[in-house]
Amino acid sequence: MKIKRYVVRDMQEAIRLIKQDLGPEAVIVSSYRVPAKGLAGFFMPRLLEVTAALDEPPEINLSLKRTPAQTVMAAGNTASRQIGPATQPPVKLRGHWSSNLYLTGSGYRAGYANDIVTDRRTGSTVVEEKETGLGGGGESIFEVMVNKQIEAGQEKDLILRWRKALLNMDLQEDVVESLLSNLSNELYHPGDQSENVFLNVKRQVIRLLEPAYRPTEKARVLTFVGPTGVGKTTTLAKLATKFSLYDRKKIALVAVHTYRLGAVEQLQAYGNFLNTPVEIVMTPAELAKVVEKNMDKDYIFIDTAGRSAKNTGQVLELKSFLDVVKEPQDVFLVLSSTTKNRDLNKIANEFLRIKFSKLIFTKLDETETHGSILNLVCTLGTPVAYLTDGQGIPDSISEAKPKSIAKLLFRGVDPDEVMAT
């Protein structure tokens, strides 16, 4: 069997070359789009890679001076005799064998097996032929190989399509590789519908997220940190309102005030709405006293001014405040989902100095792709606690779990469109 691969501009060109090289009996095994090589390939239309195969049953012509005959073995001895040309079964001297080659007057043909059987009347052993399906279910070896090639082509094509879709979701290359690594072995079966494959890929996203969500005890002190402009104070107000009005919890609001007056005024307005006083602290010692004074509260919410990740001094100053809280606390690093992947990694690495324990992503409504969320969880191994998607208080916030993040990631993704791309 001949198998040949062509890289062409379109299917018409492929068919012309296949007929020219392999003839009209050739079968197209697989086809899928591939980028052109080199830097210029980024600006050129994608090429078509086509694999074709041609079944070539071997013809073994025997040059005989006399009529082909079969050697028949008598039971218990090795004597042989000639059989006339009317019966020309294949030669077989011992045992049972299966082959796709069958001896005829002009050579061999495919599709038969042979058995040694004993004639009960004469006691002689003769060769008997029968049709066989070498691939099971009556398939020839050519059909089996072609089917395997087709399945391999479908699988490769499927993986390429999902790779493109996942990269378009702003997922990092290494995360995409992790998602697709098990697709051929576990998540894809030939004949699967696009919806089934889509659900399998989503399940793989959940598996990637789950290790970060280790069971932990909920802390009483909730501290919000992060760069400027990401919505820390608004996010704090959403949670404080939910806990106070909906869950009937006793809360305290604290503002770490060093140089940004506007944030304190915003928090003071939320405190007035909740009928809860806002404590303002200027030093780490004052923060320690406020936390101790509010031991009767179910939750203490600590708001901090935005710090630039590039300013190590500001980050270390913030750390000095958090270190005075002697009881367990949840430190939320608040980030905007509109921030670029590279910048998110830099911000997170700088804020690792203060040992944040959870992530919060804001402004989900301001971007169409949310791959950065999965990227950062996979990089840090830190869970996302909450997601916010608007200015509404307290409705525009939800608790984040692996399933909800996977749902968010694939929001707007049409599996049929991916399969057809």
Question: Among 88-92, 121-125, 284-288, whose mean pLDDT is lowest?
Answer: 88-92
Measured in whole angstroms, the distance separating CA 189 from the mean position of its chain's CA atoms is: 15
Highest mean pLDDT among 50-59, 293-302, 310-319: 293-302
Confidence (pTM): 0.63
Of 5, 99, 115, 97, nearest in space to 58 by CA: 99
Q: Residue 58's pLDDT is what?
A: 55
142/417 Cα distance (integer angstroms): 33
- What average pLDDT does the segment 384-398 reach? 88
Max distance between CA atoms of the chain, in angstroms, equals 114
pLDDT in tens, 177-220: 888 876 555 544 444 455 677 888 888 899 999 999 988 888 99
54/59 Cα distance (integer angstroms): 15
Domain ranges of the chain: 1-55, 57-83+90-138, 140-213, 217-400
**pLDDT of 37 higher than 60:** no
- What average pLDDT does the segment 386-409 reach? 90
**pLDDT of 293 higher than 90:** yes
The percent of residues above 70 in pLDDT, for the chain, comes to 65
> What is the pLDDT confidence band of residue 65, given thresholds at 50, 70 and 90?
very low
Helices 194-209, 141-168: crossing angle, 10 deg rounding: 60
Q: Residue 414's pLDDT is what?
A: 66
CA distances in angstroms from 225 to 91, 219, 301, 341, 361, listed in the order given? 85, 16, 11, 19, 12
Q: What is the dihedral of CA 63, 69, 72, 77, to 10 degrees?
A: -60
Q: Residue 416's pLDDT is what?
A: 61
pLDDT averaged over every residue in the chain: 75
Q: Residue 267's pLDDT is what?
A: 84
Give the β-pairing of 358-362 and 329-336: parallel
Rounded to the nearest 5 degrees, what angle is found at the Cα of 415, between the Cα atoms of 410 and 418?
A: 100
**pLDDT of 324 higher than 70:** yes
Q: Residue 114's pLDDT is what?
A: 45
116/111 Cα distance (integer angstroms): 17
In total, the chain counts a number of residues equal to: 421
* Residues 6+ positions from 272 with CB-CB distance below 8 Å: none
266/184 Cα distance (integer angstroms): 53
13/207 Cα distance (integer angstroms): 44
Gyration radius (Cα) of the chain, Å: 36
Strand order in the sheet with 124-131: 73-74, 124-131, 112-118, 97-98
Residue with tokens 């290359």: 173
Residue with tokens 């106070």: 244
Rounded to the nearest 5 degrees, what angle is found at the Cα of 307, between the Cα atoms of 305 and 309?
A: 165
Looking at per-residue pLDDT, the higher value among 306 and 124 belongs to 306
Backbone angles phi, psi at 300, to 5 degrees: -120, 120
300/297 Cα distance (integer angstroms): 7
- The two tokens of residue 96 are 């049972």
Of 175, 119, 167, 163, nearest in space to 375 by CA: 175
380/408 Cα distance (integer angstroms): 20
- What average pLDDT does the segment 314-338 reach? 93
Q: Are 220 and 327 in contact (CB under 8 A)?
A: yes
- What average pLDDT does the segment 167-172 reach? 90
Superfamily of domain 217-400: P-loop containing nucleotide triphosphate hydrolases (3.40.50.300)
> What is the pLDDT confidence band of residue 98, given thresholds at 50, 70 and 90?
very low
Residue with tokens 């890929």: 201
Looking at per-residue pLDDT, the higher value among 242 and 53 belongs to 242
pLDDT in tens, 101-117: 333 333 333 444 444 44
Q: Residue 382's pLDDT is what?
A: 95
